[in-house]
Amino acid sequence: MDIPDVTGAVCPVPLTHDEQIVMGHGSGGKMAADLIAKIFLPVFDNPALRAGDDGAVVELPAGRIAVSTDSHVVYPLFFPGGDIGRLAVCGTVNDVAMMGAQPAFLTAGFILEEGLALATLQRVAASMQAAAAEAGVQIISGDTKVVQRGKADGLYINTTGLGAVPPGRKLGGAQAQPGDAVLLSGSMGDHGIAVLAARGELGFETDVQSDCAPLNGLIADLLAACPAVHVLRDPTRGGVATTLNEIATQSATCITLFEKNLPVRPAVAAVCEMLGFDPLYVANEGKVLVILPRENADLALQVLRRSKYGADAALIGEVGQSPQGRVLMKTALGTTRVVDMLAGEMLPRIC
Ligand code: MG
């Protein structure tokens, strides 16, 4: 985190305000330094951050590095099962983990709206650190900018993650092969429905919680037991249907889903039915799709189900040859239908 040296600096005495973010907190001057010293440093504390230089210098094993970045604009900031801070850490940790890498470091960029309560920022930072600690990653560099009142919804967070990819590991959507099994680590749609409910837009009560969680531990266990995994991908925006369409296109295969095996919580199914949503298209933030040779599927399911984030893992489909680039579904009625990509935005600002 860039801590400006304000020793001997001559600048206008800023208005101090203890409770809220003011424009001066983005000045790069004393107030910005105070904000870092009061809110971020005590929570994220680590040697790279404490050094206070323009960038962090850290050690990673030699070899290939996986990097992923994501901006988080979820509204509202807090929702059942998570908040923007937990989401910002888990989302990026998971994207690095999907490449078969062990996430090690994160950076965090904050866009803060003038008037944001410092207590809210503190709560978000604490949640980020709790998620980072759970994932075993450090937040080693950061940035804070402030925009005028009304120009942002409280705060936005960008995170970038870094992790080393072990030698010989090659995962990606293009690796799916005919004969592979498709597994999902748990129920669909929990995150999207939880955020929607938190906006008070449902018109009725539901106890659905976001599944927002760091999956790197579960994935490390899976890859240790089943190194032959071909694809890992988290079905976030656009849900399982859209993610599998991407993979079918990348690998020029056909993926067939088994409707009766698709895991959906009854509460999510009920909300989806009332609103006319299909859980296959609703976002998840703590689930992974695993595509691997059929003969490894049973072992992979056992490993996933041992983790608290994979307890409801299921075999949901198989990879075939044609029609290439398509996702099909064998319905509970025994018919087959096409499962398309999500067109447009179904639920805006859910991550
Ligand atoms: Mg992803």
Contact 208, 271 (CB under 8 A): yes
138/195 same-domain check:
no
Cis peptide before 323 (omega within 30 of 0): yes
Count of domains in the chain? 2
143/205 same-domain check:
no
Q: What is the DSSP string of 60-121?
A: --SS-EEEEEEEE--SSSEETTEEHHHHHHHHHHHHHHTTT-EEEEEEEEEEEETT-BHHHH
- As given in the structure block, the two tokens for residue 232 are 């890992």
Measured in angstroms, how far is the CA atom of residue 235 from the centroid of ligand 1? Answer: 7
268/301 same-domain check:
yes
55/96 same-domain check:
yes
Domain's final residue, options 97, 132, 165: 165
Beta partners for residue 158, in sequence order? 71, 109
Phi/psi at 184 (5° precision): -125, 135
**pLDDT given at position 18:** 61
- As given in the structure block, the two tokens for residue 212 are 């927002």
**pLDDT given at position 4:** 46
Measured in angstroms, how far is the CA atom of residue 99 from the centroid of ligand 1? Answer: 9
Measured in angstroms, how far is the CA atom of residue 304 from the centroid of ligand 1? Answer: 18
- As given in the structure block, the two tokens for residue 323 are 């029609």
**pLDDT given at position 28:** 84
128/258 same-domain check:
no
Structural domain includes residue 9? no
**pLDDT given at position 344:** 76
Structural domain includes residue 329? yes
- As given in the structure block, the two tokens for residue 119 are 């207590």
**pLDDT given at position 312:** 98
Structural domain includes residue 196? yes
Measured in angstroms, how far is the CA atom of residue 125 from the centroid of ligand 1? Answer: 23
Domain's final residue, options 115, 137, 165: 165
Interval 121-174: pLDDT, tens = 999 999 999 999 999 999 999 999 999 999 999 999 999 999 999 999 999 999
**pLDDT given at position 282:** 96
Residue entry with tokens 């985190």 = 1
Cα separation values, 61 from 98, 156, 165, 208, 217, Å: 18, 31, 9, 40, 18
Ranges of the chain whose pLDDT falls below 50: 1, 4-15, 17
94/53 same-domain check:
yes
Strand 231-233 to 289-293 pairing:
antiparallel
Measured in angstroms, how far is the CA atom of residue 290 from the centroid of ligand 1? Answer: 13
Measured in angstroms, how far is the CA atom of residue 92 from the centroid of ligand 1? Answer: 8
Structural domain includes residue 138? yes
Measured in angstroms, how far is the CA atom of residue 33 from the centroid of ligand 1? Answer: 34
Measured in angstroms, how far is the CA atom of residue 52 from the centroid of ligand 1? Answer: 31
Distance CA 271, CA 302 (A): 30
301/327 same-domain check:
yes
Measured in angstroms, how far is the CA atom of residue 154 from the centroid of ligand 1? Answer: 25
Distance CA 38, CA 87 (A): 23
Measured in angstroms, how far is the CA atom of residue 214 from the centroid of ligand 1? Answer: 12
At 150, the amino acid letter reads: G
109 φψ region: left (φ > 0), alpha (ψ -120 to 50), beta (else): beta
Measured in angstroms, how far is the CA atom of residue 98 from the centroid of ligand 1? Answer: 7
Domain's final residue, options 143, 165, 187: 165
Measured in angstroms, how far is the CA atom of residue 35 from the centroid of ligand 1? Answer: 31
Contact 179, 317 (CB under 8 A): no
202/134 same-domain check:
no
**pLDDT given at position 346:** 76
Measured in angstroms, how far is the CA atom of residue 94 from the centroid of ligand 1? Answer: 7
Distant-in-sequence, close-in-space partners of 63: CB < 8 Å, separation ≥ 6? 164, 165, 166, 167
203/332 same-domain check:
yes
Distance CA 237, CA 183 (A): 18
